[in-house]
Structure 1
Amino acid sequence: MKFFIAHLATETNTFAAAPTGLGAFEEIGVFHGDASRRDPQGAGAFLHFLRGLIEADGHEAVESLCTLAQPGGRTVRHVYEALRDEILADLRAAMPVDAVQLLLHGAMAAEGYDDCEGDLAERIRAIVGPGVPIGLELDLHCHFTGRMQRAADVIVAFKEYPHVDTDERGRELYRLLVAAARGDIQPVMAVYDCRMVGLWHTTREPMREFVRQMEAAEREPGVLSVSLGHGFPWGDVPEAGAKLWVVADGDAALAQSVAERLGRAFWDLRERIGPETVDIDTALDVAAATKGEGPVVLADVADNPGGGAAGDSTFILRRLVERGTADAVVGALWDLGAVHVCRSAGVGAVLDLRIGGKCGPASGLPVDLRVRVRAIVENHSQSALGTRERLGPSVWVEAANGLHIVLASIRTQTYGTDAFTGLGLELADKAVVAVKSTQHFHAEFAPLARQVLYVSSPGAMNFDFGAIPYRLRSTDYWPRVADPHAAAGI
């Protein structure tokens, strides 16, 4: 059996001013059929894993493009088209194939394309014909669309946020595609539109229990897979929003029934599952009241590069300075200029440094500090949910009161504790650790934290979900509308 595999992903914040160009993909890596071998712990980690599954079963893997970019604005049209067309050309050259398995995001939009994944899947279907199973693995923050559903046989999304189950979902999808290619199953999909916009962490109840409900439903006769696409709140595209879909074995009515049952159960949780945020001073008050008992980890949710923000906002940093908070860590801030100045000065140098606040109003104003350069790493990286992610040339500087700041050259959210410890900066003895992330930090930082707080501040990611200024998607959703299902007569 011959499998055609590829990985193309970015998450599009349509409100971000800067487009996603080729450089954003090149920064992480663009691999032309060899990512699983050239970068098996980085960008190619999933294809390396998938190739291992395929070849262990005695099948053939034909590997195509592998590339991904940090979230940002819409992908430049010719960049998306070139990446898409490379996959299509490789597929034509590989024909005939027995199955197609792709790792995509599900919330990628480009200039002229609101649904890149649906566009790609449609074109793949036109090449392979109706008899070859196509499987898509999507990020949990995807927009499940009609084009995707019509073009693919099986679509599976991550169940966990943070996304610690990428490989597990890939294995699930692979096994379903093998069974479909052999004729052992006939997958059909049905979807329930939850008509909700938000962010929902699966690390706490009641979302943890809801994931278990989804898994229990997958053990019911005839049910092959259950996925909840949370949607990406800052993606203004027509089919955005939370949707639950079910893959069943040849029984469309069963798929629809289970999708509606679970979708309504998720809707019933809406008042209990939203992120609980506090303002900056409340978070720092908590840290001050329990100092010496381990670090309080603050998630700077509005300035998460993983959601398209710049990663250089200074609102938390400024309050730490103004309050004289001791033994605090902030990072990783994206500041090419500050990194360059520190690299030029060298380790041990003491200098006046202007930090952050460079990318616009959502970044706040720069903070001027006298700092000592504590460490410089030319090719810094961090663990990132089972892979390695580059931070580029990075520096650790220390200001008064034991205020430690990590500055990076590559814009990315903070995933792993080694974003700090890889520079020699210890965390266990600190009072406050502020990370540029919304939730993916949780897997590594929660075990060392006395408490994790999600901090609201000005920034590029608006967490007032009812007030996001959508133009393309319907505004008939919760929490903007109390009961959009009733309004729609559902």
Structure 2
Amino acid sequence: MKLFMASLATETNSFSPIPTGWSGFKEHLYTKSASRGEAGLYAAAVTRWRAMAEAQNWAVVEGLCTYAQPAGPTVRAVYETMRDDILSDLRAAMPVDVVLMSMHGAMIAQGYDDCEGDMMARVREIVGPDAIIGLELDPHCHLTTQMLDNTTAIVCYKEYPHVDVVERAEDLFALCAEAAAGRVNPVMRDYDCRMMAMYHTPFDPIRSYVDRMSAMEGKDGILSVSLVHGFPWGDSPRCGTRTLVIADGNASLAERRARELGQELWAMRNDLRRFPNMEDGLDLAVKLDANPVVLADFADNAGGGAPSDSTFVLRAALERGLRDIAFATFWDPVLVGMCMDAGIGAKMAVRLGGKIGPMSGDPVDLTVTVRGIATDAVQHLGTAEMNMGDCVWLEADGVHVVINTLRTQTFHPEAFQNLGIDLSRMKYVVVKSSQHFYDGFAPIAAEVIHLATPGAITPDYTIVPYTRRDGNFWPKTENPFAGEDPAP
């Protein structure tokens, strides 16, 4: 057997003011040897695939692996150049038996509403109808017909936070290896749940739902089951929640199971978690009188394309006079450079945040002391290393702020600990993240509160200004199935 593998990924926030260009990709991961020890989420799959393939004495050819922090649509020439690089290496590697790709599933470029579907169609054209094509996706994807029509199997991560990338890569490899050997015949069907929501897998009812979903796999002809959460801030006609089932040669079984799972999710829609607004969430944190209370600044999550420099929570905390409160991370390469030049112990007047646009709020002027500096800092999401760049710890009368040079969300307490910040001494810890922080912070938190903050990825899905998809989804429409019989 001969395997070709590659990775091209970003998550596009159609409403972000930050374009995704060359710097976005090359500052995180851009290599054709990612499986040889590179760090990051999108090196994890190819690293595991190489190990599994070589254990079976397969030949392995590795193409480009690259990832950009989520932002606005990718510049057309940048996408086309990277795509064509991968396709050129695939042509040179022919003939191949299996192609495995690690992508996000919500990548939009100028002129391309569906980069993953475009890539899969071009891969299929090269390898022909009989080769096996496997695609690993983030569940915050837009599952499109073009993706489904041109692949043998699609597997999404099951967990949010995404701590199971390696496990799902293993599932996809095993499924595609079985298909290549002729032992299974994967058939995929999906179901449109007509919902837009966040599905946090550590909490019921979603925890139990995902466990039931996983238990179906490997039984009664079901090969794989995925919940496609959708990415609500990507302006795609397919934006929204879907269920995906892969059956062994039985399309009607796959269709029926996908429909049943979708209807089960629809029935629990009113039991999904809801978040307090910023002021109510801060009130709750103060009343708890426990430490540390971890508060998620949901809408300023760089992992969803936000700038990671909004000041709404910081300003509210200052107005309330909160102390022993720590924030991470504010993206501000210029201020980081200034503080590093000044050195630890320097006292400075700084202008913090509010630089990128209206979704960042107004800048905050503070007099701060530089308390710590860390160069080339790293934090973890599960076992994946996530680069932060250079970081600086600023302190202003009991208000502690981490600023950094590589725009990224806060995944782990290491974002603070790298600089020497002792979170056990903080009453409040504010992380710019929507959910990926949870696996790292929950073990140290007295309480975790997700704040429905203002910003670039508002959790109010009824006001997202779509132009490419209709409004026939819950909660924007109370019953998007009106006039239909949703029963199987």
Matches within 5 A, 1:33-112: 33-40=32-39, 44-112=43-111
How far is 1:130 from its partner? 0.7
How far is 1:215 from its partner? 1.1
- Does the Cα contact within 8 Å between 1:377 and 1:423 map onto a contact in 2? yes
Corresponding residue number in structure 2 for 1:378: 375
Corresponding residue number in structure 2 for 1:356: 353
Corresponding residue number in structure 1 for 2:207: 208
1: distance between equivalents of 2:5 and 2:382?
A: 21
- Does the Cα contact within 8 Å between 2:370 and 2:393 map onto a contact in 1? yes
- Does the Cα contact within 8 Å between 2:12 and 2:234 map onto a contact in 1? yes
Report the secondary structure of 1:271's partner residue: helix
Q: Which amino acid aligns with 1:378?
A: T
Corresponding residue number in structure 1 for 2:426: 430
Select the residue among 275, 278, 285 that pairs with 2:276: 278
Cα deviation, 1:338-372, whole Å, max 9, x if unaligned, reads 21221111111111111111111111111111111
Q: Mark the runs of 5 or more structure 1 residues left unpaired by the alignment.
A: none
2: distance between equivalents of 1:487 and 1:416?
A: 47
How far is 1:42 from its partner? 6.7
Matches within 5 A, 1:140-289: 140-273=139-272, 275-289=273-287
Question: Residues 41 and 311 (structure 1 numbering): CA distance in 2 closer, same or farther, change over 3 Å?
Answer: closer
Matches within 5 A, 1:118-157: 118-157=117-156
Question: Residues 113 and 480 (structure 1 numbering): CA distance in 2 closer, same or farther, change over 3 Å?
Answer: same
How far is 1:286 from its partner? 2.7
2: distance between equivalents of 1:130 and 1:439?
A: 39
Report the secondary structure of 1:114's partner residue: coil
- Does the Cα contact within 8 Å between 1:334 and 1:411 map onto a contact in 2? yes
How far is 1:38 from its partner? 5.0
2: distance between equivalents of 1:321 and 1:90?
A: 54
How far is 1:461 from its partner? 1.1
2: distance between equivalents of 1:175 and 1:42?
A: 20
Question: Residues 8 and 183 (structure 1 numbering): CA distance in 2 closer, same or farther, change over 3 Å?
Answer: same
- Does the Cα contact within 8 Å between 1:24 and 1:70 map onto a contact in 2? yes
How far is 1:457 from its partner? 2.0
Q: Does 1:465 align with 2:464?
A: no
Q: Which amino acid aligns with 2:310?
A: S
Corresponding residue number in structure 1 for 2:30: 30
How far is 1:58 from its partner? 2.0
- Does the Cα contact within 8 Å between 2:37 and 2:47 map onto a contact in 1? no
Corresponding residue number in structure 1 for 2:473: 477
Report the secondary structure of 1:278's partner residue: coil
How far is 1:488 from its partner? 5.0
- Does the Cα contact within 8 Å between 1:135 and 1:177 map onto a contact in 2? yes
1: distance between equivalents of 2:188 and 2:361?
A: 46
2: distance between equivalents of 1:487 and 1:134?
A: 38
Cα deviation, 1:286-316, whole Å, max 9, x if unaligned, reads 332333x320000000111111110000111
How far is 1:324 from its partner? 1.4
Structure 1 stretch displaced more, 171-180 or 313-322: 313-322
2: distance between equivalents of 1:264 and 1:321?
A: 45
Q: Which amino acid aligns with 2:466?
A: Y
Structure 1 stretch displaced more, 380-389 or 419-428: 380-389
Corresponding residue number in structure 2 for 1:309: 306
Structure 1 stretch displaced more, 46-55 or 250-259: 46-55
Corresponding residue number in structure 1 for 2:326: 329
- Does the Cα contact within 8 Å between 1:40 and 1:48 map onto a contact in 2? no
Question: Residues 286 and 269 (structure 1 numbering): CA distance in 2 closer, same or farther, change over 3 Å?
Answer: same
1: distance between equivalents of 2:361 and 2:44?
A: 36
Q: Does 1:10 align with 2:10?
A: yes
2: distance between equivalents of 1:191 and 1:284?
A: 40
Q: Which runs of 4+ in 1 moved over 6 A?
A: none
Select the residue among 448, 453, 475 that pairs with 2:449: 453
Report the secondary structure of 2:482's partner residue: helix
1: distance between equivalents of 2:27 and 2:39?
A: 16
Report the secondary structure of 1:338's partner residue: helix
2: distance between equivalents of 1:385 and 1:487?
A: 45
- Does the Cα contact within 8 Å between 1:385 and 1:415 map onto a contact in 2? no
How far is 1:282 from its partner? 2.6
TM-score, normalised on structure 1?
Answer: 0.97
Cα deviation, 1:27-58, whole Å, max 9, x if unaligned, reads 10210x21122515675333222211111222
- Does the Cα contact within 8 Å between 1:331 and 1:407 map onto a contact in 2? yes
Report the secondary structure of 1:277's partner residue: coil
Name the Cα RMSD after superposition. Answer: 1.3
Report the secondary structure of 2:373's partner residue: strand
2: distance between equivalents of 1:290 and 1:188?
A: 51
Matches within 5 A, 1:434-445: 434-445=430-441
How far is 1:489 from its partner? 5.3
Question: Residues 398 and 40 (structure 1 numbering): CA distance in 2 closer, same or farther, change over 3 Å?
Answer: closer
1: distance between equivalents of 2:478 and 2:280?
A: 29
Count of residue pairs the alignment pairs up: 486
Corresponding residue number in structure 2 for 1:411: 407
2: distance between equivalents of 1:482 and 1:41?
A: 40
Q: Which amino acid aligns with 2:480?
A: P
2: distance between equivalents of 1:219 and 1:109?
A: 34
How far is 1:335 from its partner? 1.2
- Does the Cα contact within 8 Å between 2:229 and 2:242 map onto a contact in 1? yes
Cα deviation, 1:350-398, whole Å, max 9, x if unaligned, reads 1111111111111111111111101111212211232111111210011
Cα deviation, 1:436-456, whole Å, max 9, x if unaligned, reads 000000000011001000112
- Does the Cα contact within 8 Å between 2:44 and 2:166 map onto a contact in 1? no
Cα deviation, 1:83-137, whole Å, max 9, x if unaligned, reads 1111101111111111111111010010010010000000000011011110101
Question: Residues 463 and 42 (structure 1 numbering): CA distance in 2 closer, same or farther, change over 3 Å?
Answer: closer
